[in-house]
Chain A
């Protein structure tokens, strides 16, 4: 308190105009600090990614060079070629795409009607069920996977992508339900009431009116669940065992095991390819995701 008063009286003594200028100068100085902060964050988060990309374009000799040169002298695409020509890697990518699609679409199909019911209907047990859905989110897939492994084994469903996809749907649906409920809450009830007065059933009102309006929300939920599915590890790690059925999130571990350390370039190239779909999808649709978080926080 005392220091600020002293500083304030000092500037006041010099008159109004200099004070405005010092305020502006101070803002400029803060801008410099903000830029320095941005730079530090960029370096910490960006350098490991950049290093991976850099290694992916190097040949054997340049990987073993100890000096730090982010741009290799003789950039090569060999590593990418080797990864993509390997028998397993393209299969991993395809499996990831299948599982992500099943997981995201399925989670929305299961969650959307439930979210609509939570948003529009008042019934007994609603608060308990809502908290229950949230509680599902807290249950680790690791806990579920042990008994599921036993059952899938006895039913012959280990290494089945559709069966594993069902588990993906199950672990993604709590989040999807909560997010979609938030989006449906934002759509005026009058719209579906009007449709129902016109003779439409609730189901038709939901499909023809609410869902189309909630499209941005559905997109956000699709992107987030698909990304989570792309990165899901425990469930496929336990329920899928043969290399032909693994998604990339598990398969890269095989890649790490198969190649010796001197082929780090291949591993890096595989990592770049594995992460590219997620990052592209994400950067393109970033607006939706940040928007979903912001709208969620505003409501909370």
Chain B
């Protein structure tokens, strides 16, 4: 009981004895001490590695030996790699379909849950929890689960279901076209929760008077959605699209566990390709070139986002 009192007095005395701990006024810029840990970590783990990724992209370094020399040829080699066009096409399909699917499904679920909660229907929170459970799972696990669900062996859920209605099993993971579809579906399953959460939060901000006005004007539901709801949540929709696009572009854990990039590189997305360049082919410089590619794509999206956002917000 005496301890807390003692503690406060001590700290007060301490404050008088040391008049200028981190947030003092008289010492040079006040804010720097507060920002110092963040800036130090950002320098050490972002700035420094980024400089080195750029530097290493101009070398011929590999993981097999320590020495390297500077060269421009790695860029040429990485960009003329015969497997790159296929990888890029797969990446565009994977990212495009995943983002489109997550946006549509996420908006739909957000609308359903909002309506269910406003009408006090049961089960909305349960459904939200289940959707969110998918989102908090490690990507590898999601790959493992979908591998089990789509498996062509007897324990594959989808094929068992097909068999029970007399249909032939489908090679979800060993057919090159179907494997891409499987990876996209699994990724939509994984990522929709984020969009749902953001859009659900955004829907709550829409002024209900606008819906009433639309109703008075006799607008149908779809028209209201298109002309009232979507324009109102446009800023969040944009942020959300950019965030999930970047996240999808840079993910490969789920793909690794589900298909391993196969069959025959059919599901090898750029992020996985980049990883393989370094840790399967030991081509560090080539991997850094591809990493710069990924970075550039993310930066362009971010620039687009920061350009569009301010005028939307204020």
Contacts and interface: CB of A to CB of B under 8 A. Distances in A.
A8 interface: yes
A67 B166 CA distance: 12
Contacts of B34: 113-114, 116-117, 121
Interface stretch (A10-18, A30-38, A81-89, A211-219): A30-38
B131 A45 contact: yes
Contact of A48 (B45, B189, B236, B271): B189
B119 A201 contact: no
A5 B299 CA distance: 50
Given A38-B116, A131-B306, A143 B291 contact: yes
A99 to B, nearest CB: 12
A179 interface: no
B97 interface: no
Contacts of B20: 201
A139 B144 contact: no
A116 B30 CA distance: 12
A189 interface: no
A206 interface: yes
A46 B306 CA distance: 36
Interface residues of B, number: 106
Contacts of A197: none
Nearest to A251: B140
Nearest to B48: A147
Given A35-B121, A139-B46, A267-B144, A45 B284 contact: no
A266 to B, nearest CB: 11
Interface string A33-73: 01101100110111111011001000000011111100000
Given A55-B148, A114-B38, A300-B313, A143 B140 contact: no
B271 A142 contact: yes
Interface stretch (B69-77, B84-92, B176-184, B272-280): B272-280
Contact of A267 (B115, B148, B220): B148
B93 interface: no
B146 A113 contact: no
Given A38-B123, A68-B164, A264-B155, A274 B138 contact: yes
B189 to A, nearest CB: 7
B49 A148 contact: yes
A268 B141 CA distance: 9
B40 to A, nearest CB: 9
Contacts of B252: 142, 234
B45 A67 contact: no
B133 A110 contact: no
A45 B201 contact: no
Interface string A239-273: 00000000011101100100001001001100100
A286 B218 contact: no
B197 A64 contact: no
Interface residues of A, number: 105
**Main DSSP-derived SS at the B contact region:** helix
B202 A297 contact: yes
A293 B201 contact: yes
A167 B49 CA distance: 11
B231 interface: no
Interface in B259-314: 271, 274-275, 278-279, 284, 287-288, 291-292, 294-295, 298-299, 301-302, 306, 313
A200 B12 CA distance: 8
A227 B137 CA distance: 8
Contacts of A275: 133, 136-138, 141
Contact of B189 (A45, A121, A143, A234): A45
B301 A138 contact: yes
A183 interface: no
B56 A144 contact: no
B144 A173 contact: no
A64 B155 contact: yes
A159 B204 CA distance: 46
A38 B112 contact: yes
A290 B197 CA distance: 7
A155 B48 CA distance: 15
A263 to B, nearest CB: 11
B23 A201 contact: yes
A247 to B, nearest CB: 9
A126 B35 CA distance: 11
A186 B255 CA distance: 40
24 contacts: A34-B119, A41-B131, A48-B146, A55-B155, A66-B160, A68-B160, A123-B29, A134-B306, A136-B46, A142-B252, A142-B294, A143-B50, A146-B56, A147-B49, A148-B45, A171-B45, A199-B16, A201-B19, A230-B136, A249-B138, A249-B140, A256-B257, A278-B138, A297-B204
